[in-house]
Amino acid sequence: MCQSTAYDPDEDLHFDGPDPSRARFVPDPYVRLAAARREHLDAALQRLQVTGRRPRVCLYTPPRLLDRAQAYADEQKWQVAGRYTDADRGPDPEARPGWCGLRMHLAAGYADGALVLSPVVISPAAAVYERQLAWFHARGLFVALVAPARVPGRRR
């Protein structure tokens, strides 16, 4: 998922009919979700740094991109605790065996978070993605992205 660093407010304006004075601002839900995801990631990494333990992650990617996720985990010096994929990525992640296996692995305490390529790998629907993030956050777990929007000085 590529995001421009330049913000164009006109992209978030939606018009009700031909009258431009009736324009309304509709915020992108992924902006809010990205901020929440980063906040939980930063907090989890800080907690782990205090203990001196390397973060343990489960990879969740399409099969052909596991090497890319592994390389990113190695670059971050994170320990890979499991690799999960799903051939069929239907809209509901909870119906996918790989995603369910990853969540069971995390719920059992074998890892600290998940490393995915982008939010769309979890779900292209913002509401479903938000529900999955809430599950992680409620358990003190994190979701890290291999390819987030680039923000100088921020961890992914």
> Over the chain, what is the mean pLDDT?
83
Q: Is 52 left (phi over 0), alpha (psi -120 to 50) or beta?
A: left
Which pLDDT score, from 0 to 100, does residue 90 have?
82
pTM: 0.77
Q: Percent of the chain, pLDDT > 70? A: 77
- Which carries the bigger pLDDT value, residue 153 or residue 104? 104
Mean pLDDT throughout 27-52?
90
Q: Structure tokens of 65?
A: 């991109």
